[in-house]
Amino acid sequence: MATMFLQCFITKNSNAQVLQELPYVKNHTQDRRPVAYQFVREADVMWSKIVWRRIELSERANQHLFFPTTPMDGRMSLIDVLLEGIHTQGLIVYGDNGNDEFAKILTVDEVHSNLGSEMQQVQVMKEDGSQVLMNQESGYTSSEILSYLIKELWYFDKQRSVMEVRIIGLCPVRVYQKDPNVPDYSNVQVFWAYYPDIRKLLSNAECFNPQNDAARLNFEDVFEKRLFSSYIYAESNMYDNRSINQYAQNHEILLESEKIKEQIFNFEQDLWEY
């Protein structure tokens, strides 16, 4: 009876050796393509609503978007996947300009600045022994990305009689303390990514599946299958698309968020006669 032994595939990375203790080569996620959207005609959309959601990574249901804090086992956190797309794949990202999340294209330096990186002057010694001042960029930490904002469109397609949602944009939010002695946190929208532009990037990035290591999810699965917890913080309205916290306070904010969510759910249910 033949016995299958566990193989170790060794790849050289500079001077270190990386051991992959698998009896097969993992290429399923790298070959994935985004699932094609269903074609929708304007005439078939009988109702639609734009809403903005916030995902808090401190919630247990969302921690698969935060970890790993450093790349491991072929996986990266969501922010590291997006930053790799910016640095190596030419992903174009945008800065929020009023109520238009995609009005201003951000440079890589502006993205780094929003992440907390600063230009500092350091002394560098030249070959002749003299010293000169040079500008050097300080590092940033992606672990300060503790929230994500999502802009999405809910609509009812009367041709297929379904309520569907399309994500329009995704925004990582940096949450940090300006002064360590003051318990006050600042929120910075690092950049807005147009979701259709990052679907391929997300579909090729593994995300941890707590049930099965051999059937890893990818980040597109997480968003398309709604495998995250969030709350609505704004909806399209006549008042310059103001957010809920501009007209509600404390627990009223959560109640208003649930009210908007229930209205979307009830619209579809009220169309049917049982």
- Please tell me which residue, 8 or 254, carries the higher pLDDT value: 254
Which of 53-67, 136-150, 198-212 is least confident? Answer: 136-150
Per-residue pLDDT of 45-58, as tens digits, reads: 999 999 999 999 99
Residue 172: phi and psi, rounded to 5, are -75, 140
Among residues 25, 24, 20, 23, the alpha carbon closest in space to that of 6 is found at 23
pLDDT computed for residue 27 by the predictor: 74
pLDDT bin (cut points 50, 70, 90) of residue 108 is very high
pLDDT for residue 122 is more than 70: no
pLDDT computed for residue 7 by the predictor: 40
In this structure, are residues 33 and 200 in contact, taking their beta carbons and an 8 Å threshold? yes
Q: Which residue has the tokens 């597109």?
A: 220
Which of 23-27, 181-185, 238-242 is least confident? Answer: 23-27
Residue type, 180: P
Per-residue pLDDT of 177-193, as tens digits, reads: 887 777 788 999 999 99
In this structure, are residues 207 and 222 in contact, taking their beta carbons and an 8 Å threshold? yes
Average pLDDT over residues 80-98: 93
Among residues 75, 79, 17, 82, the alpha carbon closest in space to that of 213 is found at 75
The dihedral built from the CA positions of residue 52, 173, 100 and 197, taken in this order, carries a sign that is: negative
pLDDT for residue 119 is more than 70: no
CA distances from 243 to 169, 226, 252 (A): 17, 22, 13
Instruction: Take residue 244 and report the two structure tokens written for it.
Output: 């809920």
pLDDT computed for residue 17 by the predictor: 57
pLDDT bin (cut points 50, 70, 90) of residue 10 is very low
pLDDT bin (cut points 50, 70, 90) of residue 1 is very low
Q: What is the DSSP letter of 171?
A: E
Residue type, 123: Q
Which alpha helices (DSSP H) does the chain contain, by range?
78-88, 108-114, 195-203, 219-224, 251-269
Beta-sheet pairing, 131-137 with 16-20: unpaired
- Average per-residue pLDDT in the chain? 86
Residue 72, CB-side half-sphere exposure with 13 Å CA sphere: 6
